[in-house]
Amino acid sequence: MILVSSCIAGLEVRYNGSHCLVEKIQKLVNENKAITICPEMLGGLSTPREPAEIIGGDGNDVLDGKAKVMNRVGADVTEQFIKGAYAVLEKAKEVSATIVVLKENSPSCGSSMIYNGEFIGKKIAGIGVTAALLKRNGIRVISEEQFFENLP
Ligand code: SF4
């Protein structure tokens, strides 16, 4: 089974209530080959919500207690991000996920790039909280872009 970020399957769960549909991902879900997960929703946040970024590091640093996730109005949402990451890990184990396809650039789902924590739209190399936790547990994580690069 494949787990995929809900927003790339077309679900309107992004911070601003939008999605970022990738039709081929949605097709996998419709064919029951993939299951959607949104770590931020699973962590208890609502949609719409204030956008959040990792301050002082990346997802690995958040898991190690060395960085925080803050939203644009200054609320600390680290706990919700960590809770959501563990909920996705549980789901991945439950369905014996072979691969998890996560939306690039997100503070939860990014697997190689995230925003830099200044809310200025600048991306830096780094990993989101959920992607980091999955990788630590030996689960293969790729972005939606890499998923299509690897298609035959
Ligand atoms: Fe999409 Fe992940 Fe953000 Fe949820 S947490 S909206 S699945 S990028």
Q: What is the pTM of this model?
A: 0.97
The reported pLDDT for the residue numbered 151 is 61
Coil, strand or helix: which one is 110? coil
**152 residues of the chain, pLDDT tens digit each:** 999 999 999 999 999 999 999 999 999 999 999 999 999 999 999 999 999 999 999 999 999 999 999 999 999 999 999 999 999 999 999 999 999 999 999 999 999 999 999 999 999 999 999 999 999 999 999 999 998 776 64
Residues with a CB atom less than 6 Å from ligand 1: 5-7, 13-14, 38-40, 103, 106, 108-109
3-state DSSP assignment of residue 67: coil
Choose one of 14, 45, 105 to mutate for the ligand 1 pocket test, by most ligand atoms within 8 angstroms of C-beta: 14
Q: What is the pLDDT of residue 149?
A: 77
Using DSSP's 3-state secondary structure scheme, residue 123 falls into strand
Spatial separation of the C-alpha atoms in residues 49 and 32, rounded to whole Å:
29
Cβ-proximal residues to 68 (8 Å cutoff; 6+ apart), any chain: 54, 55, 56, 62, 76, 78
As a whole number of angstroms, the distance between CA 48 and CA 57 comes to: 25
What is the pLDDT at residue 148?
A: 77
Candidate from 40, 42, 102 with most ligand 1 atoms within 8 A of CB, to mutate: 40
Domain boundaries, the chain: 2-149
Which of 62, 83, 38 has the alpha carbon at shortest distance from 127? 62
